[in-house]
Amino acid sequence: MTTPLFQAVSRYAEAHARQGGVVQTPIPGLSTVRATEPSGLLHAIAQPLVCLVLQGSKRVAMGAQTYGFSAGESLLITADVPTVSQITRASAAAPYLSIALELSLPVIADLSAQMGAVPGGDHAPVHVDPTDAEVADVALRLMRLLERPEAVPLLHVSLVRELHYWLLAGRHGAAIRRLGWPGSHAQRVARAVAVLRADFAQPLPVESLAALAGMSPSSFHQHFRAVTSLSPLQFQKQLRLIEARRLMLAEGVGASSAAFAVGYESVPQFTREYGRLFGLPPVRDIQAAKDRTRSVA
């Protein structure tokens, strides 16, 4: 990994540090992460993205697969998939540091149409590889652009597009390209996923989601699981539970209120399903998380 990129991300992350160390930059979809200690487990349904690690290390699990990555490596996620992540190496002297960019389906579709054939390869939704020099170079120019705020609105689009190009031209271009194929199963499932993410607290019948994706309910169920590794109901359930945990931990909302806020009608059902996902019932889990925070403060 280039020293200038490390320095640029470090400067930005330190200058804009917030709780949790995640900083959303003025460039849409671009964020930095800085942590001075190993983290607990973080459950999420990840969006397609690329993450470049500049210092420290992290572990991400998806189903039975676990991926470890560290400085000089990149994590590429090419589908909306449930992940459990943990920063495994970080300290005040050597903080964990990374930069992440969410992938843009319209940019992928436009570039794919112009690029023609791209290298074949593994279509798995998660990959860890050494960071390509071209990708690191564009990332550095994006970080330098943030130091000139007046230029960001005028120049960031072309740089984000260039970064997508190098990803498509790389070893996992075929997996990324599936996201942008017009009418592909991945793109049609993505339409349903966008609705689930926006309206997860509302009842969303599978038949309605299937119609949105232009598939029969049985075909939609099959392709949704193939892309995300979950059924639509499981996907919605995890979104609800992850948001409920955030409400309780970050905003101090009580367990019952959080359950109703994310769409549950039964608190006992919420408590059971929360415990299955996070390993502890809501009140004990949130208390344990707060105790961990106090112990390292």
> How do residues 153-165 score in pLDDT, each as one tens digit?
999 999 999 999 9
Instruction: Determine what percent of the chain is predicted with pLDDT higher than 90.
Output: 69
In the predicted structure, residue 127 carries a pLDDT above the cut 80: yes
In the predicted structure, residue 118 carries a pLDDT above the cut 90: no
pTM: 0.84
pLDDT of residue 119: 55
Q: Are 74 and 128 in contact (CB under 8 A)?
A: yes
Handedness of CA 171, 159, 140, 56 (dihedral sign): negative
Q: Are 17 and 23 in contact (CB under 8 A)?
A: yes
Amino acid residing at 270: F
pLDDT of residue 121: 60
Residue 169, H or E segment = helix 152-169
pLDDT band at 176 (very low <50, low <70, confident <90, very high): confident
Rounded to an integer, the average pLDDT of 45-55 is: 93
Mean predicted lDDT score pLDDT of the chain: 90
In the predicted structure, residue 5 carries a pLDDT above the cut 70: yes
C-alpha–C-alpha distance, residues 220 and 226, integer Å: 10
Residue 129, H or E segment = strand 126-130
Q: Which residue has the higher pLDDT, 186 or 2?
A: 186
pLDDT, tens digit (0-9, with 9 covering 90-100), for 70-92: 999 999 998 888 899 999 999 99
58: left (phi over 0), alpha (psi -120 to 50) or beta: beta
Residue with tokens 């029969």: 216
pLDDT of residue 210: 95
DSSP states of 10-67: HHHHHHT--GGGEEE-SSTTEEEEEESS----EEEEEPSEEEEEEESEEEEEETTEEE
C-alpha–C-alpha distance, residues 125 and 228, integer Å: 8
Q: How many residues does the chain have?
A: 297
Q: Are 173 and 135 in contact (CB under 8 A)?
A: no
In the predicted structure, residue 292 carries a pLDDT above the cut 80: no
Name beta bridge partners: 34: 97
pLDDT of residue 171: 83
pLDDT band at 150 (very low <50, low <70, confident <90, very high): very high
pLDDT band at 228 (very low <50, low <70, confident <90, very high): confident
